[in-house]
Structure formats: C-alpha cells, structure tokens
Structure 1
Amino acid sequence: MAVTQQLARVPAEYLDSCRQSANASEDGDPLWGPPSTDVLDLDWALFLLERVCELGGLDDVHRSALWQALDGDTAIDLAFLNTQPHAISPFGPAPTALSAGQVARAAELLGQIDFPALLATLPTDEEEAASLLGNGADKIVGGPKKYVLGHFNALREFYRDASQRQLLVVLWWD
C-alpha cells in the first residue's frame, strides 16, 4: 500500500467536535471522517510540483505559498488526530492544518501561478522532462507533465473552494 498525501476541507467546528470526541473516548477516537467530496488525494505529486516550480523559476512568494499549501502549519493543535489506534497519519509526519485565513491567502497565490508556463520550461520530450524531474517521474503513465498539471489544478481548485467556504485545510500522509 502506497503512502500518499491527503488534504481535507473542514469547518473549525468539525475539528472541535473531533477533539471533543477524542477526549471523551476511552481509546481517543476522534470520529474523523470528513465527506469524500472534501478530501483530496495528491498521491506523490508533492515532490514533482515542487520540482517543476524550482526548475521553472517560480518566485519565492509563490513557491512559499505552494509549500505551505502542501505542508500545512503546526499552529493548530491536531495531536488528537495522531493518537493510536485512530491516528489518521500512521505512516507519515503528524497532521498539520491551515486556518481559514491561511487557506484564503494560499488560494489567492495559487490562483496567480501560471503552471502551464512553468511546465513549458521543461524539455518537450517527456522522457527528458521525466529525467530532469526525477522522483519516479519516468514511471508515470501518460507522462509527468499531464500528471503534474492535473494535480496542480486539483490543488488550486481545492483551495479556492475551501477559501470561498471559509474552511480550514488539514493535511496528512496516509
């Protein structure tokens, strides 16, 4: 089973409810289960997204926004989601989250990134591009450019919707 990056859009009240459930439960069960429509599986795209931005020369402000959108922040206490046997991230680092304000800022900056232009800086030959990207890009069926663009667009749309709905984003590896 592959470990992949997951994101969930949730209201602050939902996190509070999960925290209360974990505190009330003998085994710390937070009853975590956001709707599937509010969960995004980024697979292993994180590493390739970062590499495309590096190779494409994305400026520091937008690279930092992308990094935060993919890495989260530790300011919101999510220890209750990382307690066995109900840990949502048993194979990776502790879950992180972004506040609604951070989500809005990330959505704004992700919306400004011209990702096709970044991809255009890569070699036109998919094998050459995959070699330059590394991180297993040579094994992506259909080519790495299509894969990375699809995941970037999904990430941008995910944050745009979370921002419009004033939701937090929780990130973890599962």
Structure 2
Amino acid sequence: MMQTRKLTHIAILITFALVIHTVEAMVPVPMIVPGAKLGLANVITLLTFVIYGFKSAMFIAVIRAILGSIFIGNFLGFGFFLSFGGAVLSTLAMALGISLWRRGAVSLIAVSIMGAVAHNTAQVLIASILIQNINLLRLYLPLLLFLALPTGFFTGLVVIYAEKALSKVIKDVKQQ
C-alpha cells in the first residue's frame, strides 16, 4: 500500500512537471536573453526533494526532460541535450543544497538558486561544446547567471509556500 501511494504521488508530480515544462516551452516569455526561461518545472523537482529525497527528484527531472522533449518535438535534438544536461546538473546541485537546508544552513530559496545557477551553467557549457564556440561561456553565461538569481528566488518561494500547503501530505509520507 505504501509503495503504491508513493508511486501515485510520483506519477502526479511527473505529470505536473511535464505540463509546466511543455507550457513553458510553448509560451513565449519576454526575456532580454534569448532562450532564458523561468524554470518553473524545477518547482516540482525541488518539492520532490523535500518530500521524497534525491532518487525521486532525479527520476522526475530525467523523466521530465525526456518526455518533455518528446512532447515538444525536439527529442535528441539540440534543445533536448540542453534540457537534459541542465536538469541533471541542477538536481545534483540541489542535492548538495538540500543537505545544507536539512541542517538549517540555507533556505529553500538558496537551494533553488543553486539549482538555477547549475542549470544555466550546464546549458551554456553543453551549447558551447555542441556548437564548438567557447565564447558562449564568456559572453552568455554571465547573463544567464544573473537571471538565475530572480528565477531561482521565485521558484524557491513557490516551493516554500507549496511545502506549507502540503505539510499534512509531507508529514504523512515521512511517517510511513
């Protein structure tokens, strides 16, 4: 019963992440930097960290990147590799941040910003390798790192409020 409940929760979280990922890819967001996104699907990844831990969060990030790229139509294309690499590296960065958060050393906002910085860094690094232009790191990365601060802040804030709203569910999950 407990395993079925967890699988159901994970399936719902994947669905939320996919919907957010797909809608965000389809809706043009007026950003100064081309390709910059709000990264709202990371709300689900970070919330999954809080509820279920690293393995589930990485699973959701990877499945979201794969299925999201299939839904959008860029599977194994340029965008897929950027999304996948960003998702994996940001989840690893958030794993470090979550361990600090659990000790009370940082807030979920800081964890989210760590994830946003890692995501943008991975994407620019992968893009510079794929198009064989190291200047992207010098010219484009600073802009994306600057944008990671407000987007990571917003994402972290959403997770804080979601965690409070779901506190009963989280408590039930952790007691099982």
TM-score by length of 1: 0.29
- Which has the higher relative contact order, 1 or 2, with Cα contacts under 8 A spaced 6 or more apart? 1
* TM-score when normalising by structure 2: 0.29
Task: Give the number of the structure whose residues are more often strand, by fraction.
Answer: 1
Higher helix content, 1 or 2? 2
